[in-house]
Amino acid sequence: MKLSIDRLTSTPTPFEFEGDSAWWRAALLPQRSLPRELLEPLRFVCQAYRMGEDIYIEGEVRGNVEIECGRCLARYRHRLHEPFRLVLEPAGDRVPTDPEGVEALARDGVCLGDEFEVGWYRGSEIHLGALALELVSLALPVKPLCREDCPGLCPVCGLDLGTEHGNCREARPDSPFAVLAALRDGNPGAGAQNETTVRNRKKRGDH
């Protein structure tokens, strides 16, 4: 995942590369909340060109990653098809303000600014591995959903409401109106039982 700066001209140069599991594991930082493994290699379809001393890199990342649904916590395949555009200025004598930027500029020949769309480069060759990882990170949803209408988990028993159905959702606390509801439904026995519950609560002073 290298790009030779000296070979670039004002005419866009197309190039592609793949990010496999070995690259992913090597580039992924432990503190990043990203998938630990790739289901398949990710493809980066790009083109690069120069305008003066600035370098422009455009393209898109394609592939599938396995992530966790933010509602039901199930793992699902999320499709990536994310375009990007990056403008790199020559670093010159400038030094990044953060230690990570200093390290990236020395190691990869490129570092990003506060926004992903802009950055600095130094030298005749830049390594794109860290940039590719950042692309994937930004392409993933903030709150992933396995599907738009995912009902999530039952707040009582924790069942996945999209695949299982429990009776706990129908459970309701006893109330003074439970007697009338039981009589209306033709279950006087339940009504008497609920009436006794209500009377006991009144004796104790419960509301």
Express each pLDDT in 149-178 by its tens digit. 998 888 888 888 877 665 665 544 555 555
Query: Secondary structure of the chain: what % helix, strand, coil (to 5)?
Result: 30, 30, 40
**Mean pLDDT for the chain?**
80
Residues 15 and 117 in one domain: yes
Residues 32 and 125 in one domain: yes
Cβ-proximal residues to 115 (8 Å cutoff; 6+ apart), any chain: none
Domain of residue 200 covers 172-204
Looking at the domain assignment, is residue 105 inside a domain? yes
Number of domains into which the chain is organized: 2
Residues 131 and 29 in one domain: yes
pLDDT at 191: 46
Helix residue spans in 6-53 (DSSP H): 21-27
Q: What is the pLDDT of residues 61-73, one digit of tens each?
A: 999 988 899 999 9
Positions in the chain whose pLDDT score sits under 50: 171-172, 188-198, 200-202
pLDDT at 175: 55
pLDDT at 137: 85
pTM: 0.68
Looking at the domain assignment, is residue 77 inside a domain? yes
